[in-house]
Amino acid sequence: MKRRRTYTTTRIIMIGFLVGIALGTFLLMLPISSADGKWTDFYDALFMATSSICVTGLATVTPAVHFSLFGQFVMLVLIQFGGLGIVTFTTVLLLLVGRRITLADRLLIQDAYNLDTLSGVVRLTLRVVKGTLIVEGIGAICYMTVFCADNEIGATHGIWISIFTSISAFCNAGLDLLGDSSLIPYRDNVMVNFTTMLLIILGGLGFPVWWELMRVMRLKRKCSRSRWKALNLHTKLVVAATLFLIFGGMLLVLAMEYDNPDTLGNLNWGQKLQASLFQSVTLRTAGFATIAQSSFRHATCLFFVLWMFIGGSPSGTAGGVKTVTMVVILASVLSTIRGKKDTVLCHRSVTDNAARKALAVAAVSFSAFFVLTLALMFVQDGDFLDTVYEMVSAIATVGLSRGMTATLHAGGKIILVLAMYLGRVGPISMALAFNVEARERNLKPAAGKVTVG
């Protein structure tokens, strides 16, 4: 029963996103969704619907110019849907219409959040939605202090842009209504930069980490060290990996681009630090940019590819193979090199099942990236680095581009649509599908000897 229930949840998530993409494509194609009142090309509508619901951020058209207020609203709903997830979104709708949450619904929620118990799953879902709305609301208010005061935007339109940008940033979508230059005009604006970074980080941490951090903060502990010890292993790994990737990435960007006149070279020290930090944070599958990605050196972009592939943390709004996945893989490799039987993290052993899951997710994601990159190179002419950058951005649901998105043909758009869908649904589905305890068997095949390495 548990095995059947797990695969049912996986199918529901996959089908739910497909239905959302289909509905979003139809709505974005309608004349009412475009600013000029004409039908939108099918491939562009499909691409934008997929990019929105898969919270990627790549765009073949400029949302601020091409879409009407209705079309932008459709995109915003798709972004919120993709950020919260099919299970959470559906549960909230059922509660709003007054339908009773059945045992089957509760089992879906339990699987979606990888919970150990059915107790309080509906309450947890409501906490996720409530926390999301509060954070997005605060972010929108912070944006309003800048966008509403901008004479070129206007107060009324500034409110709409602030709401859209806040939801997009929290959901790690990277789509905005500021034109085709993302946040580049606000590169030196402290409020816009730090509001965006905080929203990206909070969305990428994952909801279970939120509750665990708040639980520990309420404990009566005298020092931060004792609070750290009180955290569960998952939260420790997420926090440590997130801090390392953010600040390690910032230092690498600063070192590699310090004297590049096209990126950081002409900035003062404060601006260099802020721009480097923002770039490191947005690589966590956010998709916003304060510096044109094509201006970075090739060596720097190669490092960006790795950071984008890793992505955010499990059960959050970010994509990628996830931080905990990479930490577990690295720990397993080090344990093997050192000749140790067990994989140990923070004085806790990691189960072999968890290590196999991590390796499977990373291997399948990389295989999909490799195959789809070859396919994109076959149908679309382009620079090698630009193609790799575009594909890892799509499959890790990042949304950063070196300018290739605007040049895509129909075949290239379809391949990237598939990449965005697999990037958003694939790792989630694999994690759920692998979250099945192997049934005990009385008979075990005889061991065979193989040579590795």
Q: Where are the domains of the chain?
A: 2-434
What pTM does this model have?
A: 0.87
% of the chain exceeding 90 in pLDDT: 50
* pLDDT for residue 439: 42
**CA gyration radius for the chain?**
22
pLDDT, tens digit, 9 for 90 and up, residues 413-441: 999 999 999 888 875 565 455 554 444 44
Question: Residue 41 half-sphere exposure, CB side, CA atoms within 13 Å?
Answer: 10
pLDDT category at 110 given cuts 50, 70, 90 is: low
pLDDT category at 85 given cuts 50, 70, 90 is: confident
* Cα distance between residue 176 and residue 185, in whole Å: 13
Q: Which one has a higher pLDDT value, 152 or 307?
A: 307
pLDDT exceeds cutoff 70 at 108: no
User: What are all long-range contacts of 109-113, with beta carbons under 8 Å and residues at least 24 apart?
Assistant: 111/5, 111/6, 111/9, 111/432, 111/435, 112/9, 112/13, 112/85, 112/87, 112/88, 112/432, 113/207, 113/208, 113/315
pLDDT, tens digit, 9 for 90 and up, residues 395-418: 999 999 998 998 999 999 999 999
pLDDT exceeds cutoff 90 at 123: no
Tell me what the mean pLDDT of segment 70-95 comes to.
81
pLDDT exceeds cutoff 60 at 283: yes
Q: How far apart, in Å, are the Cα atoms of 196 and each of 140, 357, 409?
A: 10, 32, 32
% of the chain exceeding 70 in pLDDT: 83
pLDDT exceeds cutoff 90 at 234: no
* pLDDT for residue 448: 63
Q: Which one has a higher pLDDT value, 1 or 273?
A: 273
